[in-house]
């Protein structure tokens, strides 16, 4: 991970677009807290760290640079059952990295104690399987908004448009090869990167090329999420 920023810093190449696509849904670690940390390291901290490392290296461009975080509907605020956290994460001006960190720590405490006071997912099996993933994507969505807000005042020619999107259930190892094609999954991310600057927005959540907001969507997928939980 250090290599790319370093190469860029030495001017070997420059950057206009970044699509944060790395993601995992499960960890095979039997320790619940360590498992959650593994998922968070890839889906949240890795993305956050990489983006912060690369942001200074974006080349000014009339078309504006683009950052697209591949996220998930799973991380919509609808999945955060606890009203205190829902409120904190939906705030505009008061939302920052510390709030997101406290949210993560509250969840890790839940995992250590074997309870669910943050997400409040009624189905225990789904909580066990998807809690870490849900949490990581909720953190990712919130962080997208924080960074978009912090970058929003850049002047013309130096703009960075930051958004996140849900690819839908896409046929990869993570979904046990269920779901639509990779091309279809990538469509909205590619569209966000190629859109003319005059049509770009920042700090939004997209599904199927539409701004769907951060609160609520439960688009019915033809595949039951539970059927993707790997056999133990």
Binding mask 39-58 for ligand NAG (x = CB under 6 A): --x--xxxxxx-xx------
Any idea of the CA torsion for 171, 172, 174, 178, to the nearest 10 degrees?
30
Nearest to 100 by CA among 148, 136, 55: 136
Number of residues that bind ligand NAG (CB under 6 A): 17
**Residue 127 is a binding residue for ligand NAG (CB under 6 A):** no
Q: Least distance to ligand NAG from the beta carbon of 16, Å?
A: 13
Applying CB under 6 A, the span of 24-32, 75-83, 119-127, 143-151 interacting with ligand NAG comes to 143-151
Which pair of tokens denotes residue 75?
């991380």
Nearest to 214 by CA among 153, 110, 137, 149: 137
Applying CB under 6 A, the span of 22-30, 126-134, 141-149, 185-193 interacting with ligand NAG comes to 141-149
Q: Which is nearer to ligand NAG, 46 or 81 (CB)?
A: 46
Q: Least distance to ligand NAG from the beta carbon of 93, Å?
A: 18
**Residue 147 is a binding residue for ligand NAG (CB under 6 A):** yes
Binding mask 175-214 for ligand NAG (x = CB under 6 A): ----------------------------------------
Binding residues (CB under 6 A) for ligand NAG: these are 20, 41, 44-49, 51-52, 67, 69, 140, 143-144, 147, 162
């Amino acid at each position: 991970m250090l290599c790319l920023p370093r190469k860029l810093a030495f001017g070997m190449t420059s950057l206009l677009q970044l699509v944060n696509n790395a993601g995992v849904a499960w960890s095979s670690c039997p320790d619940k807290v360590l498992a959650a940390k593994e998922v968070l390291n890839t889906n949240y901290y890795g993305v956050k760290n990489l983006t912060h490392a690369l942001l200074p290296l974006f080349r000014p461009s009339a078309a504006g640079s683009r950052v697209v975080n591949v996220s998930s509907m799973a991380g919509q605020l609808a999945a955060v059952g606890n009203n205190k956290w829902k409120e904190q994460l939906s705030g505009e001006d008061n939302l920052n990295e510390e709030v997101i960190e406290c949210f993560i720590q509250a969840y890790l405490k839940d995992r250590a104690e074997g309870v669910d006071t943050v997400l409040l997912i009624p189905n225990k099996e789904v909580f066990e399987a998807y809690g870490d993933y849900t949490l990581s994507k909720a953190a990712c969505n919130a962080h997208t908004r924080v960074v978009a807000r912090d970058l929003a005042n850049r002047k013309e020619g130096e703009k960075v448009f930051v958004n996140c999107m849900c690819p839908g259930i896409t046929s990869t190892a993570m979904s046990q090869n269920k779901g639509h094609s990779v091309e279809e999954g990538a469509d909205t991310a590619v569209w966000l990167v190629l859109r003319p600057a005059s049509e770009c927005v920042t700090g939004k959540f997209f599904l199927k090329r539409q701004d769907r907001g951060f609160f609520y969507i439960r688009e019915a997928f033809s595949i039951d999420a539970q059927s993707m939980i790997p056999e133990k």
